[in-house]
Amino acid sequence: MSEKTNDLVRLNRLDAGVVELVIDRPEALNALNIQVLLSLKAALETLASDASVRVILLRGAGEKAFVAGADIREMQTMGRSDAAQFSRLGHSVCLLLESMPKVTVAAVHGFALGGGTELALACDFILASEKAQFGLPEVGLGVIPGFGGTIRLARTLGLARAKELVFSGERIGASEAVQLGLVRKALPQDGFFDEVRKQAAKIARNSLSAVSAAKSLMNEFEETSGVHPKVDAEIQRFSSLFGTHDQKEGMVAFSEKRSARFEGL
């Protein structure tokens, strides 16, 4: 059964308490604008208190992308205070995915860049197809990841590897993501979502109270050393870059489909 929560986010209720939350903006490779983030937040808040839900599969619509990042065209004209609000909204979605008493799984079948990698990292784990591509390319736009990605990536890969990916903005494919420990294995592209649903159903057969007790225990560590204590610092640093020459140039260059000319200002 498919329910449209609105035009940008769709909910498919599968068997045994598994739901698919689909970001449905394929013409922009499912880029996260304010409206998509608000819709995701509302859907996740509803699912968090729905006793029939056990596992949430987060995915993107279309052939090419999970999520190609925050919406660069929308961010292009943001000032510092808009950027701070935007970052806080993205954090709230990621913190919900991370802490809600349900299992959250990112099903990545294509590009997961910037905010896309950040959303995936906030889920309990990532299932990726062999076509998945991850990366945090924000420094190539004159900004930094604004939804907790630097911290979650460092936690998952170790500080030096995460720094290399953040500072270079390089993309990695599924096999490198496996080598680095971002995902456990790369699943075949053909039948990827069927396999993901099977794996979700397997988890959903276990005791939800036991699984969510394990989740909250494993997350307790995060409250002291994870993203939680650093949210305000990240929002401040992310938003402080808005209005600078490099942020404007980086985002205009993306829209004009050319390389950016940065001045470090």
Per CB under 6 A, residues contacting ligand CAA are 28-29, 31, 68-73, 90, 111, 113-115, 118, 137-138, 141, 145-147
Residue (118 or 124) nearer to ligand CAA, CB: 118
In the complex, least distance from residue 110 CB atom to ligand CAA, rounded to whole angstroms: 8
Is position 118 annotated as part of the catalytic site?
A: yes
Residue (60 or 137) nearer to ligand CAA, CB: 137
Residue (17 or 69) nearer to ligand CAA, CB: 69
Q: Which of 3, 138, 164, 220 is flagged as catalytic?
A: 138
Residue (29 or 53) nearer to ligand CAA, CB: 29
In the complex, least distance from residue 99 CB atom to ligand CAA, rounded to whole angstroms: 20
Is position 256 annotated as part of the catalytic site?
A: no
In the complex, least distance from residue 4 CB atom to ligand CAA, rounded to whole angstroms: 22
In the complex, least distance from residue 255 CB atom to ligand CAA, rounded to whole angstroms: 7
Q: Which of 27, 118, 176, 234 is flagged as catalytic?
A: 118
Nearest to 98 by CA among 166, 27, 151, 159: 151
CA distance readout (Å), 17 to 59, 120, 220, 229: 17, 21, 25, 32
Residue (210 or 257) nearer to ligand CAA, CB: 257
Q: For residues 68 and 193, what is the distance between their CA atoms, to the nearest angstrom?
A: 19
CA distance readout (Å), 226 to 57, 196, 233: 23, 27, 13
In the complex, least distance from residue 51 CB atom to ligand CAA, rounded to whole angstroms: 33
Q: For residues 49 and 52, what is the distance between their CA atoms, to the nearest angstrom?
A: 9
Give catalytic residue positions.
Answer: 118, 138
